[in-house]
Amino acid sequence: MNFMSKKSFRYINSSAPKIDALAKARGNAKYTDDLEFDRMLYGKLLRSTLAHGRIKKIDVSKARALRGVRAILTGTDLPIRYGILPVSQDELALALGKVRYIGEPVAAVAATSEETAFEALKLIRVEYEPIDPVLSIKDALKSVQSVHDEGNLHKAVSLEFGQTQSTGADYSREDLFYYEGNTHLALEEHSAVALWQKGRLTLHSSSQTPFLLRKILAKALEIPETSVRVKVAAVGGGFGGKLDPFAHEICAAKIAMITGRPVKFTLTREEVFYCHRGRHPAVMWIKTDWKKDGRLLDMHFKAALDGGAYGSFGVVCVYYQGALQPVTYKIPHYRFESARYFTNKPPCGPKRGHGTPQPRFALEVHLDKVAEELGQDPVALRLKNLMTPDSVTVNQLKVTSCGLNACIEKVAEVSGFRRKHGRLPPGKGVGFALGSYLCGAAVPIYWNDEPHTTVRITAGRKSGLTVYCGATDIGQGCDMVVASVVAEILGISIHRLRLVMADTDTTPPDLGSYSSRVTLMAGNAAKDAAEKFKSQVLAIAGKKETSFERTLQSALRKKNRIESSGSYKPPAKLGRFKGSGVGPSPAYSFSACVAEVTCDVETGEVGVSKITFAHDIGRAINRLAVEGQIEGGIAMALGEAFFEEQVYDERGLHRKPSILDYKIPTMEDMPELEIFLVETGDPAGPFGAKEVGQGPLLPVIPAIANAIYDAVGVRIDETPFTPEKILLALERKAMARAPRVGPDKFPDIVFPEPFAVRPVSAVQASC
């Protein structure tokens, strides 16, 4: 199965600490807010205190008169609409005419001190004319009010794949689930510093997508893209929350252009909750048909997403609700309907797992229920319908390597799942679930034919060896990935390399840190660049010395400067239907999880005692970093499972926009973890590597839900699994009612007629 023998590696597949680890541990790393410039102004945003309303008047005169205030912007100063997706150009840096959520920026102030900027905000008077807010999908369907002129339905899709099975089903089941909205909670709050020098803008920002940000800044500010430089300092976590362009970035740039002075905006924690772009709250319905031996015949999945006030990545998220179910299981006939609605709340967007944790939760809990009713072991049921390597899914995704089988066997064996399931003492239980994720979207956000990423390597007599790469390290470790790959190919120490990363002026373009694309794509580009560099060096030197270092020195004596460039472009997608751009990837990662829990039936508290986890990483470029990503994914999953709620009151006001009240697990809440890496060596990945940034979150949440059922016999069909919900379900059980907490109705959505996708031809599928 191994694509390349492990023993041949020197730098990759090791557990060396990340190259930036020491600086970060010592507090030496410079984040955006650490940047200081002479004569720098401090910016603050005034945010709407109303969820839905017309702006009648904004009076900034008093604020303008305050000593130290240098600039004030309102919506009229930045009238160009923008958005991360070409199809959703619906945002403005500052509200114009109307506000659509509490926390939406209405005005921006810059002053000589942060305190003055803060004071100035208090002096701005905004008069609103309130409009009834649209705060739920129910409101969105019924309300006479529209969040946007075009109505409250943002996007609805209905797709059908495969052939209805001729042999009838023996059994079918349907279930309803709800997944609560939640946010990223990266430790570093968003921050941006803008400089305007000689007609060029430089924006330092804690962004996951400097190259996309450059494009959007140019549009919103009406300046050429060549006049914009975006640089990314150290980033304290992104998780999808720093993908979209944000008001503070555009306002910082605009004020720098007006005043000629550097301008810094650093958001407060509360403001980050309003920026949001996190997990969509989703109501889901799933129905499956089965043969009694456990063969899956048919799946029908529906999702309704509460999108918040703007588009963001919403359209993509609508498709992701249905895209990856067929990647883990073979589904002969698959129908999927999904819709997103606008509501007067901070916009939802991409968060770790981007639109797939919700359906994964629904699917894996549903399968647990099916297994029980069919009298089958939950592992066995999945094995019967499991994805196999080198397959094309029913929704026309090409699966290359697939280590699901090995992942399942590992976690089932180590955790003792088969021995424990259904047999532990009351209050204790085990749960099982699978997951899968893409290793980079095969289709770029803005369609073009260019490579998705390029890496450049240069060497000079006195300038050392430098690697230029546009990929953005947001803490996930892509600097280490790129450096490890180059070091491996060249056969020199990682510490010999100088890295220049994520700077639109000096590094070649990279699409950004999203869709788990960086290891595979930047890794491949780095490999390509390093291989070209190596052969050039050899060719110039004329002969191989005892080490590459010596060969390079001898080559540099003959030629002043040696340079190479490598790039990566994913293979073309198979599907040709509308929506086929969401889901295709050069490869897919797979994971299996067993959760072991203890429930206290008096308090309703659930303690996770152990998580056994196996992840098909293809090849670990760095084992320590991969394990760290898995641990982080599990921690985030525990937060979504037990605590996290991005919820609002009847005015649309966020109930707990604070890092203390919006709970995520602490180190004390972490269970024992046993993690296994399955290395399948994918042909598409650099040295066979696949993703690990997002996938590991997915199976943890349903595994916990299934474990709770095994422990106390109640189904919590909605996140988070709070003690109150568990007590409620236990009460229902005691009263012989359905032992369940979850939604009881899918919203009354009329989906479009399903579009029946024609199967791909055998020729297409094999290419």
Partner 1 sequence: MPRLQYYRAKSLQEAARMLADGGCQAAILGGGTDLVPRMKRRQENFKALIDVGAIRQLSQIRRAKNKLYLGAGLKLSFLAQSSELSQFAAFKQAAGLVATPAIRNQATLGGNLCIPTRCVYFDRSDQWRESLGFCLRHKGLACRAAPGSAVCLAPMSSDLAPVLVALGAQVQLVSRDGERAARLEEFYKNDGKDHLQKSAGEILAWVAVESGVFTDSVYLKLSRRHSFEFPSLGVAVALSRRKGTIDAAKIVLGSIAPYPVVARESQDILIGGKLSDELIAKAAGAAARQATPVANADLSPSYRRKMIGVLLKKALHEIRQAGS
Sites of contact with partner 1 (CB under 8 A):
47, 49-50, 102, 115, 122, 268, 270, 602-604, 642-643, 649, 651, 653-658, 660-661, 663, 665-669, 723-724, 727
Sign of the four-CA dihedral 219, 223, 229, 230? negative
Q: For residues 657 and 274, is the Cβ–Cβ distance under 8 A?
A: yes
- Closest by alpha carbon to 408, among 326, 329, 355? 329
C-alpha angle 639-439-329 in degrees, rounded to nearest 5? 80
If you search the block for the tokens 């060969």, which residue do you land on? 551
Do 428 and 597 touch, CB atoms closer than 8 A?
yes
Q: Which is nearer to partner 1, 566 or 604 (CB)?
A: 604
CB of 26 to partner 1, least distance (A): 17
**What is the distance between the alpha carbons of residues 486 and 495, in angstroms, rounded to a whole number?**
11
Q: How far is the CB of 109 from partner 1 (least distance, A)?
A: 13
- Distance, in Å, from the CA atom of 506 to the CA atom of 468, rounded to the nearest integer, reads 7
Q: In the 3-class helix/strand/coil scheme, how is 675-742 assigned residue by residue?
A: EEEECCCCCCCHHHCCCCCCHHHCCHHHHHHHHHHHHHCCEECECCCCHHHHHHHHHHHHCCCCCEEC
Question: Shortest distance, CB of residue 653 to partner 1, whole angstroms?
Answer: 5
Tokens standing for residue 156: 């609805």
Taking the complex as a whole, the smallest distance from the CB of residue 656 to partner 1 amounts, in Å, to: 7
Residue pair 757/577 in contact by the 8 Å Cβ criterion: yes
Cβ distance to partner 1 smaller for residue 150 or 731: 731
> Of the two residues 54 and 122, which places its CB atom closer to partner 1 in the complex?
122
Query: In the bound complex, what is the minimum distance in angstroms from residue 664's beta carbon to partner 1?
Result: 9
Distance from C-alpha of 541 to C-alpha of 532, rounded to nearest angstrom: 14
DSSP alpha helices (H): ranges in 509-667?
518-541, 548-558, 623-642
Write out the two tokens for 177.
């689930």
Q: How far is the CB of 42 from partner 1 (least distance, A)?
A: 13
E-only strand ranges, 60-133: 69-74, 98-99, 105-111, 125-130
Six-digit token pair at 131?
């409009």
CA distance linking residue 614 with residue 85, whole number of Å: 34
Cβ closest to partner 1, residue 514 vs residue 642: 642
Least gap, CB of 434 to partner 1 (angstroms): 28
Least distance CB 267 / partner 1 (angstroms): 12
Question: For the chain, what percentages of helix, strand and coil (3-state, to nearest 5) are there?
Answer: 30, 25, 45
Closest CB 676 distance from partner 1, rounded Å: 27
In angstroms, what is the minimal distance from the CB of 79 to partner 1?
A: 25
Identity of the residue, 270 or 549, whose beta carbon is nearer to partner 1 in the bound complex: 270
Rounded to a whole number of angstroms, the minimum distance from the CB of residue 102 to partner 1 is 5
Shorter beta-carbon distance to partner 1: residue 325 or 719: 719
- Rounded Cα distance, 153 and 468, in Å: 43
The letter for the amino acid at 155 is K
Closer to partner 1 at the Cβ: 222 or 650? 650
Nearer to partner 1 among residue 273 and residue 320 (C-beta): 273
Place of tokens 């707990």: 656
540 versus 728: smaller Cβ distance to partner 1? 728
Residue 712 Cβ vs partner 1, minimum distance, rounded to whole Å: 16
Give whichever of 149 and 668 is closer to partner 1, judged by the CB atom: 668
Nearer Cβ to partner 1 (653/675): 653
Between residues 577 and 643, which has the closer beta carbon with respect to partner 1? 643
Smallest separation, CB 32 to partner 1 (Å): 20
Residue reference for tokens 């803005």: 446
Q: Indicate the residue among 106 and 511 with the shorter CB distance to partner 1.
A: 106
How far apart are the C-alpha atoms of 239 and 637, rounded to whole Å? Answer: 12
The DSSP symbol for 329 reads: B
Pick the closer one to partner 1 by CB: 298 or 640: 640
Q: What tokens does 13 get?
A: 């597949």
Taken in order 713, 715, 720, 723, the sign of the CA dihedral is: negative
440 Cβ neighbours under 8 A, 6+ residues apart: 452, 515, 516, 517, 518, 520, 521, 570, 585, 586, 691
The nearest distance, CB 69 to partner 1, in angstroms, is 17
| Least distance from partner 1 to the Cβ atom of residue 118, Å | 8
- Cα–Cα nearest to 355, from 277, 291, 453: 277
Please tell me what DSSP assigns to residue 182. B
Instruction: Tell the smallest beta-carbon distance from residue 668 to partner 1 (Å).
Output: 4
Instruction: Tell me 75's DSSP state.
Output: G
The dihedral over CA atoms of 15, 20, 26, 31, expressed in degrees to the nearest 10, equals -150
CB atoms within 10 A of CB 623: 16
* Shortest CB 180 distance to partner 1, Å: 14
Q: How far is CA 738 from CA 19, 230, 603, 729, 744, in A?
A: 54, 55, 20, 8, 11
Q: Which residues pair with 129 in a beta bridge?
A: 54
Which of 105/181 has CB closer to partner 1? 105
- Residue 369's alpha-carbon distances to 222, 421, 598, 669, in angstroms, are 55, 14, 20, 28
When the beta carbons of 24 and 663 are compared against partner 1, the nearer one is 663
CB–CB of 358/284 below 8 Å?
yes
Nearer to partner 1, 660 or 762 (CB): 660
